[in-house]
Amino acid sequence: MPVYKIKKAFRLPFIAVTILLFALFVTGMAMGELWERILTGVLFIVALVISVEVSEREFKTSENGLQIRKFFRTKHFVWAEITHLGTVILRNKAYFLLTTTKGFYIFSNLLQDHTLLLRDLAQKLGEEKVEAEIKNYIAAPRERTSLVVLTWVSLIILVALLLTRWLAV
């Protein structure tokens, strides 16, 4: 049963950003202003929630159907329950819409091996449920690197902030 998760190239630096935000929050609690404590606390909580979501999100395919796990919830679908697979592409960002009898689910090309997932879904669902754009996308996939680069830049900025803070003491 193949498992598809968010790319490690995004996941790992984002978790590091969350840890560094916590360190900045703790440092701010010891010697910072009130506005700094509030700001770093809010940023840390938001980053923590996103980190947990990013770490927990996964798609699993099997002969029987699809399983989607996100934020401590798991949804199971047999192939007959999935009614449509479509896509919207904006430059290098691709969003995929999976419509089921229980609702709809959106995922992006930030998933590791997302083209393999799309190929597997298209094969299991058949021609009538899959948009032609999906087949075009599988033939020429796009990689989303801007979010990964921004996460690494954030990580570098936070390291610089913490070093500046600790060296100033």
DSSP letter for 130, please: B
State phi, psi for 64 to the nearest 5 degrees.
-85, -30
Helices (H) and strands (E) counted in the chain, each on its own, are 5, 7
Full residue range of the structural domain in which residue 70 is found: 3-167
b/e string for 89-125 if b means 16 or more Cβ within 10 A? eeeeebebebebeeeebebebbbbebbebbebbbebb
Indicate the number of domains in the chain.
Answer: 1
For 133-159, how does the pLDDT look when each residue is reduced to its tens digit (9 = 90+)? Answer: 999 999 989 888 888 999 999 999 999
For 19-69, how does the pLDDT look when each residue is reduced to its tens digit (9 = 90+)? Answer: 999 999 999 888 878 998 999 999 999 999 999 999 999 999 999 899 999
Q: pTM for this structure?
A: 0.83
What CATH number does the domain containing 92 carry? 2.30.29.30
